[in-house]
Chain A
Amino acid sequence: MEFRFTGEQEMTCKLAQDFAVEEVLPLAREVDEKNYCPVEILKKMAGSGFNGVFVPQEYGGTGLGYVERAIVLEEMARCSAGIAMTLMTHHLGVASILQFGSEAQKQKYLPGLSSGNLIGGLAVTEPGGGSDVTGHQTTATREDGSWVLDGRKCFITNSHIADVVVITARTGQDEKGRPSLSAFIVEKGTPGFAPGREENKTGMHGSVTGELVLKDCRISEDALLGKEGHGQKIALAIISEVGRAGMSAISLGLLRAAIEESVRFARERIIYGKPLANIQAIQFAVAETVIEYEAAKLLTYRAVTLKDGGQRCDSEMAQAKYFATEAAVRAAKRTIDLMGGYGLLAEYPAERLLRDAMTTLPSAGTSNIMKIVVAANTLR
């Protein structure tokens, strides 16, 4: 068992941190207050090799893995979870095409997605169901050598900025009469495909989340991703491995930010003539956050290491996502409590950490779903 990063992973950490401090941190407060997604930053991230971090070099990617992706997301999220979320969601589109695309599709999209020319997205959730994938109402029908898509997706991050979106739709029924889904690659600007309303989330303000509306949207045959009827499998694979890993990594960033805020405040605030850090209750709070961060880190990096090793990891991913996201929420509240009144003022990052952490919870599956996944693996 090795519990250390390799030399390259250490360098990835440093490099990502330097980038985040220089490019992401100056925007953090502003994107939170003004609630917008600073799209230009994705081009800069591409320049550093973040956008296609796990894409092989033959497709224009950086040629690293999911461990390095997690490191990058953690460092971005430490400065701004919302901006990290934008990158994380982009990766969902990238991974879908990388894992399930044809050679032609990979050649067509992966270089642009890695270079910053194209922003990716994944649209699965519908008003009819998020966790319930089979509640799909969006349909895709064959017509004169094309597919015609109709329907509505909601709670889609990168909805208003993605150039390439992987969308799931009903294409038939299985032998038991349950809906059978397929996945499609839809490009921005395709007639009949457009973002709808933009949601006003309580947190993750550096990202844009909204609806995607498909109305008589005609796409070519070769826009089908993977085999017909494999849509559910693709969606679950990407969400459970790439989505959950991403949310865990973002939560690690939030946990670290919580530690740093707590420590800074505890050292500087003078109460009863001494720094707050001298008070045992405060020390306990800081210790709890540190322990939870370390535990979340181990769960997260174990899960992504399994993925890089090509091993099955859906339970480990669910464990990591469940623990890390809930721990981030607890840590954020603990930080606010420690800061007293100051914790609720917008000029300190603490209250933003709580809003961001809350917003991670339903993404890539709720905490209850995570428990169902783990239980299913255990009670099988």
Chain B
Amino acid sequence: MEEAYSGIMVYAEAAGSGLKCSARELMGHAGILAAKIQELENKQVPVSAVILGPQNLEPAKTLTGFAGRVYWCDRKELTVYHPGLYAGAITGLVEKYRPEIVMFAAGPAGSELAATCAARLKTGLAAHAVELEINRDGHLVQLVVSYGENIMGEILCPAHRPQMVTVQSGILEPPVSGTAAGELIREEIDLRDDGRLTITAIEGKGNEACRLEEAEVVLAGGYGLKNKKNWLQLEELADLLGAATGCTRPVLDEHWVDDEDLMIGISGKTIHPRVYLGIGISGSSHHTAGIQKAGWIIAVNNDVQARLLQMADLRIVGDGPAIVAEMIKIIKGGNTST
């Protein structure tokens, strides 16, 4: 059964006329995995990409630099993300081309799509992989952040095909360009729309949502802030510094913030600021998975054992809220010379 499946397929998302960063990262991952399987099993491993939407010809062409084959569905019903139709298209392509591995970028749409496709294909799906490996048997091993204090778990899908995975972004340096001279194939896919789900509106989120991912300086707060008042104070400091704010899951659990777009880490945002300043954050792997690519890390924590401190370039052992208040005072007072 496994022999009938071959190759790695990536679901790629576009950003304007180019590719999303996550798409290029996935192509990078796919290339590495393909090379590993090739070496192990002495066989060719084709790498393909899927992109949907009539507006995405340019991104589809770009993908031909990374994949041997690019499958592009240009049906107009696929212009805007429609979970049922998109899943139908992807599933149809998987059934037609039978890749042994299918990869999606973890994210609100990617995770929904991957789950839907996995259910239709009755196969296994691992979520938010931070590392991918091929084991001796040629199986994909997905490493995910497990529940608990800084524990990673391996997930395998030994007996079902394809092996599906959503991959946490920001883990791999995305290749800027590729050397493949892939083939662009316009795919005619039979889309059955039973009319139970219809798109009625689409609106951009504006700058705020992207702010965190594009910001050069991020000021993040965690459970160590102790209360909502201190969170609001952190927001004030971020404002004064021109920094974007981010948080950890406990901050959401405590309802100091209700916007999960601010959460950094697994199931949240991956960021790559030049400077990351983490206040009252212990640094569990759930969160730190989202700051792998941060430049300078400054951490403030009362607990000298905090994991985030071990990862930081500048480690401040002190009371987060008090230091935030003091920083605000210094900035406002204009009294900055030491």
Contact = CB atoms under 8 A, between A and B. Distances in A.
Interface centre among A26, A268, A270 (most CB of B within 10 A): A268
8 contacts: A22-B255, A26-B228, A26-B229, A267-B303, A268-B303, A268-B319, A270-B304, A270-B317
B226 to A, nearest CB: 9
Interface string B313-326: 00001010000000
Contact of A268 (B227, B228, B255, B302): B302
In the A-B complex, the 10 residue pairs with the closest CB atoms? A268-B302, A270-B304, A270-B317, A268-B303, A26-B228, A267-B303, A268-B319, A26-B227, A25-B227, A22-B255
Interface string B93-137: 000000000000000000000000000000000000000000000
Contacts of A22: 255
A268 B321 CA distance: 13
Nearest to B228: A26
Contacts of B319: 268
Interface size class of A (residues with CB under 8 A): under 10
Interface in B285-314: 302-304
Contacts of A270: 304, 317
B208 to A, nearest CB: 26
The binding surface of chain A is classed by DSSP as: helix
A296 B185 CA distance: 77
Nearest to A269: B302
Interface in A211-269: 267-268
Interface residues of B, number: 9
Contacts of B303: 267-268
Nearest to B303: A268
Nearest to A347: B322
Contacts of B228: 26
Interface string A17-61: 000001001100000000000000000000000000000000000
Contacts of A268: 302-303, 319
A267 B319 CA distance: 12
B114 to A, nearest CB: 35
Contacts of B302: 268
A267 B304 CA distance: 10
A293 B218 CA distance: 43
A22 B255 CA distance: 9
Nearest to A21: B254
Interface string B233-256: 000000000000000000000010
Nearest to B319: A268
Nearest to B325: A347
Contacts of A26: 227-229
Interface string A261-300: 0000001101000000000000000000000000000000
A22 B228 CA distance: 11
Interface in A56-113: none
Interface in B239-283: 255
Contacts of B227: 25-26
Contacts of B304: 270
Interface string B178-216: 000000000000000000000000000000000000000
A123 to B, nearest CB: 37
B283 to A, nearest CB: 16
A253 B304 CA distance: 30
Nearest to B301: A268
B305 to A, nearest CB: 9
A268 B319 CA distance: 9
A25 B304 CA distance: 28
Nearest to A268: B302
Interface in B55-79: none
Contacts of B255: 22
Contacts of B229: 26
Given A26-B227, A26-B228, A268-B319, 8 more contacts: A22-B255, A25-B227, A26-B229, A267-B303, A268-B302, A268-B303, A270-B304, A270-B317
Nearest to B226: A264
A265 B195 CA distance: 60
A78 to B, nearest CB: 15
A268 B227 CA distance: 17
A22 to B, nearest CB: 8
A102 to B, nearest CB: 46
A95 to B, nearest CB: 35
B227 to A, nearest CB: 8
A163 B304 CA distance: 53
A22 B303 CA distance: 26
Contacts of A267: 303
B187 to A, nearest CB: 53
A244 B210 CA distance: 57
Nearest to B317: A270
Nearest to A22: B255
Nearest to B302: A268
A26 B303 CA distance: 25
A346 to B, nearest CB: 14
Interface in B134-186: none
A268 B317 CA distance: 10
Nearest to B305: A275
A328 B319 CA distance: 27
A331 to B, nearest CB: 21
A296 to B, nearest CB: 27
